[in-house]
Amino acid sequence: MFFIFSQILSFLFNPVTWIITLLLLALLLRNKKWAKRCLVFVTIMTLFFTNQFIADEVIRLWEYPITQDKELAASYDAGVVLGGGMVTIDTDYDRMTFRNSTDRIFQAVGLYKTGRIKKILISSGSGSLMFRDMLESPLLKRYLLTVGIPDSVILIDSLSDNTHQNAVNSAKILKKEFPAGKFLLITSSIHMRRAMGCFKKAGIQVTPYSTDKLTGKRIFRIGHLFIPGIDALEVWNKLIHEVIGYAVYAIWGYL
């Protein structure tokens, strides 16, 4: 129920949803005064939410900083990789297709290869309302095996649909395998605040290892400052999803 509720909220607060709704109102309202106001709001919102500079500056306030290697311990018992639409599979050809946030799993491979982490725990179930049998963690395990990561190194949780479940299910595995272990939490910078709160609530102390950072150095080019970009809408969608998620988790007592 909570998973469905969170998906509905994400849809309702998506800027594209607002823009389309206002545009439809402008076309359907018989009152010309209100129809004109809706068009004005649509124009303002479209210009605001497609401004790439504004999107960067707002999301910069939320993203968790990158942890530099010099700040890490020599090694950790496990790196916990949180899923998020990284991979799917074309069943007709039995071929995996990598999609979003793949920096997480690639960073985990690098951390293992350099001796920073001893084991990799992948926590990710379906995360989809429609494709309930498309479990991400077994697919990622399959990928890791193909690139030479030993089976004995890989732990998986394929039951989690959200960050709260990631933390609860991962905590059970980690407490059993490493009662006094040290762990890296590997997820995107934009997701790290909520993830860390959930793991703390689940009784697991983690060191953050942010990936998939959306912002870099400030760009003051004319195109970036003033020309609308469709990518900015996606940045806003991710940010609003995370802020709402954090607030709802706090209300539910997951943080």
* Cα-Cα-Cα-Cα dihedral sign, residues 137, 140, 146, 147: negative
In this prediction, residue 2 carries a pLDDT of: 66
- Integer distance in angstroms from the first to the last C-alpha of the chain? 18
In this prediction, residue 181 carries a pLDDT of: 94
The CATH number of 69-211 is: 3.40.50.620
Strand partners, 120: 79, 154
In this prediction, residue 103 carries a pLDDT of: 94
- Segments in the chain below pLDDT 50: 129
In this prediction, residue 133 carries a pLDDT of: 63
Residues with Cβ within 8 Å of residue 82, at least 6 apart in sequence: 104, 123, 124, 163, 166, 185, 186, 187, 191, 195
CA Rg value for the chain: 21
A 10 A CB-CB count for 248 gives 17
Q: Where are the domains of the chain?
A: 2-63+217-252, 69-211
**pTM score, two decimals?**
0.89
How, if at all, do strands 95-98 and 87-90 pair? antiparallel
In this prediction, residue 131 carries a pLDDT of: 53
**What does the pLDDT look like over 122-178, one tens digit per residue?**
999 765 545 556 688 999 999 999 999 999 999 999 988 899 999 999 999 999 999
In this prediction, residue 50 carries a pLDDT of: 96
Q: Which two tokens stand for residue 106?
A: 């690639």
Q: What is the DSSP letter of 123?
A: E
